[in-house]
Amino acid sequence: MLQVTGLTKIFGGLRAVDNASLWVDEGRIVALIGPNGAGKTTLFACIAGFLPVNAGRVEFLGRDITGLPVHEIARAGMVRTFQITQPFAKLTVHENIAVGAYQKFSHRAQAWAHAQAIAEQVGMSHMLAQPASELTVAGRKRLELARALATSPRLLLLDEVMAGLNPSEILEIIAIIRQIRDRGVTVLLIEHVMHAVMSLSDHIHVLSYGKIIAEGSPQQVVSNQAVVEAYLGRGSTAADAAAGAPHA
CB contact set of 88 (below 8 Å; sequence gap of 6+): 95, 96, 99, 132
Q: Quick check: is 196 in a domain?
A: yes
Tell me, what's the pLDDT at 119? 96
- What are the tens digits of pLDDT across the range 153-166? 999 999 999 999 99
| pLDDT by residue, tens only, the chain of 248 residues | 999 999 999 999 999 999 999 999 999 999 999 998 999 999 999 999 999 999 999 999 999 999 999 999 999 999 999 877 788 989 999 999 999 888 788 888 999 999 999 999 999 999 999 999 999 999 999 999 999 999 999 999 999 999 999 999 999 999 999 999 999 999 999 999 999 999 999 999 999 999 999 999 999 998 999 898 887 665 555 545 444 433 32
Percentage helix, strand, coil, to 5, in the chain? 40, 25, 35
> Chain centroid to CA 215: how far?
17
Q: Quick check: is 131 in a domain?
A: yes
Helix (H, G, I), strand (E, B) or coil at 214: strand
First to last CA, the chain: 42
The count of structural domains within the chain is 1
- d(CA 142, CA 38) in angstroms, rounded, equals 26
Q: Quick check: is 234 in a domain?
A: no
Tell me, what's the pLDDT at 84? 75
Reported for 213-219, long-range contacts at CB under 8 A and 24+ positions apart, including other chains, are 215/22
Residue type, 55: A
Q: Quick check: is 39 in a domain?
A: yes
* Structural element, H or E, at residue 106: none
Q: Quick check: is 235 in a domain?
A: no
Helix (H, G, I), strand (E, B) or coil at 69: coil
Q: Looking at residue 24, which CATH number applies to its domain?
A: 3.40.50.300
CB contact set of 210 (below 8 Å; sequence gap of 6+): 9, 15, 16, 17, 18, 20, 38, 39, 42
Q: How many CA atoms lie within 13 A of 169 on its CB side?
A: 14
Residue type, 121: Q
Tell me, what's the pLDDT at 171? 96
Q: Contact at 8 Å (CB) between 174 and 168?
A: no
Tell me, what's the pLDDT at 248? 27
Give the range of the structural domain holding residue 143, as residue numbers without chain letter.
2-216
Q: Quick check: is 238 in a domain?
A: no
Tell me, what's the pLDDT at 233? 66
Tell me, what's the pLDDT at 237? 52
Tell me, what's the pLDDT at 120? 96
Q: What angle do CA 200, 157, 226 make, to 5 degrees?
A: 60
Q: Quick check: is 143 in a domain?
A: yes
Q: Quick check: is 236 in a domain?
A: no
